Every structure is written in structure tokens, then in C-alpha cells.
Structure 1
Amino acid sequence: MVRIVAIAAGVVYSLALVLSGIRLDSTTKMLLGWFPAACSLLLVIWDVIGWRLPGLQKLTHRPRIDGLWAVTLKPTIESHIPDGGNRGPISAYLVVSQSYWSVHARQLTEQSSSDSRSFYWSRPAGADVDRLTFLYENTPLPEHRSRSPRHQGLCSLDVARLISKEIQGNYFTDRYTQGSMELRLVDRSKGYASFAEAHQHTSNP
């Protein structure tokens, strides 16, 4: 929606110049008239794909992490996991959709799914690339909600390279659980609705 609005605003402004009766009777004036629309389009191209180009990506320090990741969650011994819960290691998948200005992460396990609600990029002192931190909301499957209620948490991914195949991370939740994460890139595919669907994809490449 933001991309559509950006392009629409530029085009409307340029059309308004034409319809207002202002005569753009030279190449320079024509270029100035359509400059806002062109800038809006360039911003959208940058957001979707431009920042991923090797030369430009090095300037932004923004790592590319979109795609399907196989995840191993390792809760700490101190985590308050209800009786009957999985004390780990826990197998999961993380599906990441990413542009330059937006990120959405969806984690899938056999018992629940989690969706990111807000995020920010930061770069620790001396680091070569940005680190992603996001808040998320976990929704257990109906058959597990009596034991494991809906909860929120925070996840931090320590991305070491601009193009990574493995990522280390940490998480903690408001139900007093925490642990480490190990991520391994499967491929750049997205759109998985369940753990079973993602697992089937990885089992049948």
C-alpha cells in the first residue's frame, strides 16, 4: 500500500501540472514536470530490489534474509515450560518476507505459529552488517491452548554476513521462557501456512 501511494502521489502531482494549464513546452520543463513521479517509482524499485544489488548492498549494510529457514530452538533450563511442553531442542521454520523498509517474520512449529508485530535494525559497534530485532505474538494451535496460552516475545537475530546461510539468534517471552536459535537457509521460497507444509517442502526439494 505504501508503494502504491508513493507512485500515485508522484503521478497525480505530475498530472496536476499538465491539467492546470501550465505548458511544458521544452524538454527541461517536461523532465521537471515528471520528476516527482520518477522519484516515487525509483523509491519503490529501491525498496523492492535495488538495495539487494551487490554494490549497493555493501553501502547499506542491510543483510538479505528473506526466504525459508530451518530453525532449531533451544530453551534454557530456567525456562518456565508447562508440564507436557517441549523442552527442546524444538524444530521450527521461519518464513521471512523482506524489502528495504519492511520485514515480516512468521515462525511455524508443530504446536503454534508466531508473527512479527514490529521490528528494527541496529548495527553493534564494529559490526559489518545490521542486526534484526523484532517483537512477535505466538498463537498456539487450539488443542494446545489449555496448556500453552497465547503470548508475546522478542527475538534478536545476529546476522554476520550480507548474504548468510546460517544465523544465530536469541529469544525470550512474557511467560518467562528464553533460549537460543540456530537458523539454516533452505531457499528463498515463502508462503507456507503450516509447519507440515514447510516440512514437506524441505523433505521433497
Structure 2
Amino acid sequence: MADSDNAKDTAEPKKKKKGLKMIGLIAGVLVLAGGGAGAGIYAAQSGMLSAAPHAAVPDTPQLVPKSEEKRASAGGEGEAGGEGGGEGTGHGMATPAGSGGDRYASNYYAMDKEFTSNLQDSVHFIQVGVAISTPYDDRVIDNLKTHEIAVRSAILMSLGQTSEDQVFTVEGKRQLQQRLKKAINDTLKEKEGFGGVSNVYFTNFVVQ
């Protein structure tokens, strides 16, 4: 009996020691984990670390919401509250509400000089005035002005590929608009990496 009691006495301290060792290990792990987390938080807050590298965002033109569209003022020189100002839309007044319409603003630009070109396989020539619209900010128009010489050249080349049949029909004129839009956007993409022109309009159209 005495031997069995001694065995129990020696076994219990060993179990206690193992238990204490396990508790010590767990406590050490928790301390290390807590310290690492705290160090990580401190480093993140101090700017030493970042969660992930920020991808470079290209500086490209941005879409303009319809609510920020540039609108013509009514009443001639009489702005809102000025002399001769009517009840129309002026600066500082709300945009008239309506159903439908474009989602984004239309930013217009009319090119200064008209374009004159011979028609394909024809003795006739065409003279057109061209304007563009874009839903993006002024950087598209700035790009167009910067590269106007290259854009004008692209437009003249497209006009030179136009036949008589196209210039005398509505559908042909629409096809010409699409070709001119592509020519302008292709030129801007080549020069700036971004097109942005959504529509081409004719401000003048003469065939002689």
C-alpha cells in the first residue's frame, strides 16, 4: 500500500509540472501574438506598413454627371437676376427635370475651320463644319485642341473616302458621322491614349 501511495504522490507533481508548462506555453504564445498584433497596428498607424500597394490610377478624363452639365443661360446678356433676364435657366438655377435623356453631361466643341474635300471618284467636293460632343470633362476637348492638326488631317482623309451616294442620303450622312467619330477617337488614342468623343455633328454641310 505504501508503495502505491508513493507512486501517486510522485505522479501528481509531474502532472502539475506538465500542466504548468502547458499554461506557460499558452501564455507565451498569447503574449507574442498580442505583441505582434500591437506592433502591426502601431506600424500601420504610423505609416510604416500598408495593407497593399496602391495601383497607379491613370490620369484620364472623367465622366461628368448630368447634374453638372454646362447649360446656356437664358435672356441673352441678362443672367439670372440681371437685366433682361427671363424665367429660363440661368446660372445657379436648377436644371429642368424630364424623363429620359442622357445619363451623363454633353460637353460640346465646334472646330473653328470648315473642312473641304473632293468626293471619291467624283468631280464634286464637300464642305462641312464639324462639332463633337463628349460625356467626359474638358480634358477631352483640351486633347482635341492640342492635336487639332492631326485630327483635321484624319477628318480630311475620311471625307476623301466619301462617295456621292453617301452625301445625298440621310443614312449616308449618318455613316459619315460614325467614320469621322472613329477617325477622331483613333487619333486621340494614338496621341493621348484616350478618345472620349461620343458624337460628331455637322454644323454646315454643302456639296458642290
TM-score by length of 2: 0.26
More strand by share: 1
Larger Rg: 2
More helix by share: 2
